[in-house]
Amino acid sequence: MLVCLGHGIAYADVDADARLQQAKEMIQQGRDHAVRAEYRAALVSFDESIRLLDAIGDPVAATLIEPLIAAANVYAALGEPEPGIPVARRAVNVIRRTGGLYDMQQQPVVEVLVKLQAMSGNIPDSLAELRFLERASAETNGKRSVAHARVLNNVGQWFCRVGDFQSGRARFRKADEALLKLARRGDGNDVVRLQALTGMAQCYFFELASHGITSIAVGDTPFLGEITTRERLKPGSPVFRREVSQILRYEGERAMVTAAEIAESSQTLSMQERVGTLLQVGDWFLIKEFSRTALDYYERAYVLSRDNLSPDLVLQSPLQILYPLPRPLNEPARSDGNRPERYVIAEFTARADGRVKEVQVAEKVATPSMVDQTIGSLLAARYRPAFASGKPVPTADVRYRQSF
DSSP 302-322: HHHHHTTS-HHHHTSS-EEEE
**CA–CA separation, 13 vs 18, rounded Å?**
9
Tens place of pLDDT per residue across the chain (404 aa): 444 333 333 434 558 888 889 999 999 999 999 999 999 999 999 999 999 999 887 655 788 999 999 999 999 999 999 999 999 999 999 999 989 999 999 999 999 999 999 999 999 999 999 999 999 999 999 999 999 999 999 999 999 999 999 999 999 999 999 999 999 988 889 999 999 999 999 999 999 999 999 999 998 899 999 988 777 777 878 889 899 999 999 999 999 999 999 999 998 999 999 999 999 999 999 999 999 999 999 999 998 887 777 655 678 899 999 999 887 654 454 555 566 789 999 999 999 999 999 999 999 999 999 999 999 999 999 999 999 888 999 999 999 999 98
Identify the CATH homologous superfamily for domain 1-115.
Answer: Tetratricopeptide repeat domain (1.25.40.10)
Q: Tell me, which fold does domain 324-403 have in CATH?
A: TolA/TonB C-terminal domain (3.30.2420)
**CA–CA separation, 268 vs 332, rounded Å?**
56
Beta bridge partners of 222: none
Q: Are 403 and 342 in contact (CB under 8 A)?
A: yes
32-56 per-residue burial string, b: 16 or more CB within 10 A, e: under 16: ebbeeeebebbbebbbbbbebbeeb
Instruction: Report pLDDT for 337.
Output: 57
Q: Are 374 and 346 in contact (CB under 8 A)?
A: yes
138-315: CATH number: 1.25.40.10
Residue 318 backbone dihedrals phi, psi, to 5 degrees: -65, 145
CATH 1.25.40.10 maps onto the chain at 1-115, 138-315
**CA–CA separation, 63 vs 51, rounded Å?**
12
CB-based contacts of 293, cutoff 8 Å, min separation 6: 285
3-class secondary structure, 344: strand
CATH 3.30.2420.10 maps onto the chain at 324-403
Instruction: Report pLDDT for 389.
Output: 86
Global pTM value: 0.88
How many Cβ atoms sit within 10 Å of the Cβ of residue 132?
15
Instruction: Specify the pairing of strand 319-324 against strand 382-384.
Output: antiparallel
**CA–CA separation, 343 vs 370, rounded Å?**
8
Angle at 255 between CA 214 and CA 110, to 5 degrees: 65
Q: Are 178 and 148 in contact (CB under 8 A)?
A: yes
Instruction: Report pLDDT for 336.
Output: 55
Q: Are 313 and 306 in contact (CB under 8 A)?
A: no
3-class secondary structure, 365: strand
Helix, strand, coil percentages (3-state) for the chain, rounded to 5, are 60, 15, 25
Residues constituting the chain: 404
